[in-house]
Structure 1
Amino acid sequence: MTQIANKESKTLDIDLIADGKKKLNDQFSQVIANAKQKSLEGLRVVEERICEPYRGHSFELKKGQIIRYELIEGPQIIDTVYRVKSNPLGEYADSYGTSSFSGLVFGEDDSFWSNTPYLRPVATIVRDTVNLDKIKECYGPKAVHSFVYPSGRCNAGLYGRYYEDGYYNNCDLNLTQAFVDLFGEEMASQMETTQAFMHFQPMAYDKFPTNYSLFPSKGIFKKGDYVDVLVHDDMYVAFSPCPLGDQNNFNDEGPEEWVCYPIKVSILEGADGPLETVEIRNSNAPSAIEWLREGRKGMKHGKVGTNGF
């Protein structure tokens, strides 16, 4: 957001890319509204699992199916990763693409966008039963529970720094294990450390320089709270129950005293099968390596300026 003072000394808030974001997202707003209505009317259960903490879990979803993450025993943070089934090494839900066209924090109707050069919505939150007003009442107007870390997820290195012991369970380990289970060690080792899309973690990007605050979940969530995410392509989804668990005693005790809970995950679809999804072509863009190999063929650019001050 850029602030500009006009001649009357009033401050104007000008978002230079708001119109572009709105135009892109308006293309599929009706599809999202239809999926949300189907979710409210009731969906057919295709698969259901109780997922235990301290390990990763993986699922295969068909285009138009919904994955539901549901709290059943207690508050439990989850880190989720989305990879396109037809190109699991190359295309995945990405923090930069998502922040460019959606945001870094999410609620209903917000989409997760994939990385360059594909840059398209690959998943959308269509239902979230958590009381967001309560989160904001407790922790301020910027507080949410669904967001994306700009890069990565909790890992052995962080524990090594905080606690001088890197051998604690962590989301990087769990998500890697989930993809090893899916693809085998050789293919999983080729995967970039993709960003984790988070749910059930009270937080806010409320610091300057920009950073986040984490808050306790006590009294925030209720049994049966869930988040429904619609996928817009055949997708591999992996998630890790974060070892921070309910985030209620993070500062008081070490990691061995943190409490984690199982979570129920359901794969859902409409009575007649998968739901209608967003149809949007890949962006008309080359990969950087391919373009360099072609000698930057057809490259366009702006002007070189002088005396700009």
Structure 2
Amino acid sequence: MAKVPAAYQATRGSVLDIDRDFYAGLTDPAARTRVESLVVPIRDGRAWKVPAGHVLRLSTLEGPQVGDVNLWHLHNPRERFWASRTRQLQRAHVSTFDRLWSTLPYLRPMATIIDDTLAGYGIDGSGVDEEGGRVHDLLGTRCDPYVNRLLTGEDFDHHCHSNLVRAVLPHGLTEFDVHDVLNVFQCTGLNDDDQYFMKACPAREGDYLELFAEIDLLCALSCCPGGDLSVDLWGPKAQDPLATCHPIGVEVFRLDARLLEGWRPPVPSPYAGWHGLRGPVIDWAEEKRQRGF
């Protein structure tokens, strides 16, 4: 089958055409200092801050485990991670040198993936396995108690959506701020009927994903109650996957200043925001200017 080119093409020098040498240089363990470390327990969620110019590492501490990640601009949570646009601008499954993009009217990279121990997953390190599965998923979204009630007729309060809701409440956010996620360490794809499937997590103890914070971030992660997704969560073969659940580690690193020489946080989209209208409409350019962006 002929390879169809991507719809969204980067021009040389655009924000999609990143400096790979710069980002590869941020992975030097001798040029960073850990400033925060925490553990997200099984079937629970946590939220934390990552300053711009710092590195976030998510690790499978004790064995395979998938996690659901949300991102917000720390100082303006209306700007948050946009999974569907990231899927279009990058890929449906992200890895090293892919960027995580924010919502309109800002549309800028919030974080850039700089290291991924699962980048060589699949057949001959291609990133895809024999059934079409790939890792770090943007195809699906978080499990939630609403769809669980729809499928099973029962209530369960520790789905990823609920875990994220609890995690962000101390930061002044609510359920309405929780959004579509990056499913880290999760292996998924589309079957022959174009239906979403999930496979057992291929991560092992010590695997990790690292992101460079392009702007000041509030991050939240749910340790999925489905554990490593090796057992069915719904349907006639469904069972409790508690035995497959493991915690996820979170570390934040400050980088040596010399590594960041010449780097600046990306600015929001310069589009003025008139949308062909004139009159008493929101002037996004002015709002962003007043907010200091």
How does the TM-score come out when normalised to structure 2?
0.81
- 2:266 aligns with one of 280, 287, 291: 280
Q: 1:290 to 1:116 in 2, by over 3 A?
A: farther
- 1:194 aligns with one of 159, 169, 179: 179
Per-residue deviation, 1:100: 3.2
Does structure 1 residue 143 correspond to structure 2 residue 133?
yes
Per-residue deviation, 1:231: 0.9
Query: Across the two proteins, how many residue pairs are aligned to each other?
Result: 276
Query: Which whole-Å deviations, capped at 9, do the CAs of 1:103-141 have from their partners, x for residues lacking one?
Result: 221010000011111111111110001253337688337
Does structure 1 residue 105 correspond to structure 2 residue 87?
no
Give the whole-Å Cα distance in 2 for the aligned partners of 1:22 and 1:162.
Answer: 47
Partner of 2:220: 238
Partner of 1:133: 121
Q: 1:285 to 1:174 in 2, by over 3 A?
A: same
Partner of 1:71: 60
**Contact in 2 for aligned 1:64/1:231 (Cα 8 Å):** yes
Query: Which whole-Å deviations, capped at 9, do the CAs of 1:229-278 have from their partners, x for residues lacking one?
Result: 11111110001001111111226442364521112110012234984656
Structure 1 gaps, min length 5? 4-10, 298-309
Query: Which whole-Å deviations, capped at 9, do the CAs of 1:261-302 have from their partners, x for residues lacking one?
Result: 1121100122349846564331133568995863699xxxxx
- 1:204 aligns with one of 189, 195, 198: 189
Secondary structure, aligned partner of 1:233: coil
Query: Which whole-Å deviations, capped at 9, do the CAs of 1:22-65 have from their partners, x for residues lacking one?
Result: 84311xx22x5323223134321111112211221011111011
Give the whole-Å Cα distance in 2 for the aligned partners of 1:273 and 1:236.
Answer: 25
Matching residue's letter, 1:204: G
Partner of 1:80: 69
**Residues 246-255 or 47-56, more deviating:** 246-255
Q: 1:142 to 1:107 in 2, by over 3 A?
A: farther
Does structure 1 residue 213 correspond to structure 2 residue 197?
yes
Secondary structure, aligned partner of 1:98: helix
Partner of 1:294: 280
Does structure 1 residue 93 correspond to structure 2 residue 81?
yes
**Contact in 2 for aligned 1:149/1:195 (Cα 8 Å):** no
**Contact in 2 for aligned 1:119/1:282 (Cα 8 Å):** yes
Does structure 1 residue 267 correspond to structure 2 residue 267?
no
Q: 1:290 to 1:171 in 2, by over 3 A?
A: farther
Give the whole-Å Cα distance in 1 for the aligned partners of 2:152 and 2:45.
Answer: 23
Q: What is the 5 A alignment of 1:154-193?
A: 154-183=143-172, 187-189=173-175, 191-193=176-178
- 2:22 aligns with one of 34, 40, 43: 34
Give the whole-Å Cα distance in 2 for the aligned partners of 1:202 and 1:164.
Answer: 27
**Contact in 1 for aligned 2:86/2:100 (Cα 8 Å):** yes
Root-mean-square deviation (CA, aligned residues, Å) is 3.1
Structure 2 gaps, min length 5? 284-293
Query: Percent same amino acid at aligned positions?
Result: 20
Give the whole-Å Cα distance in 2 for the aligned partners of 1:170 and 1:21.
Answer: 42
**Contact in 1 for aligned 2:59/2:209 (Cα 8 Å):** yes
Matching residue's letter, 1:102: Q
Per-residue deviation, 1:199: 0.9
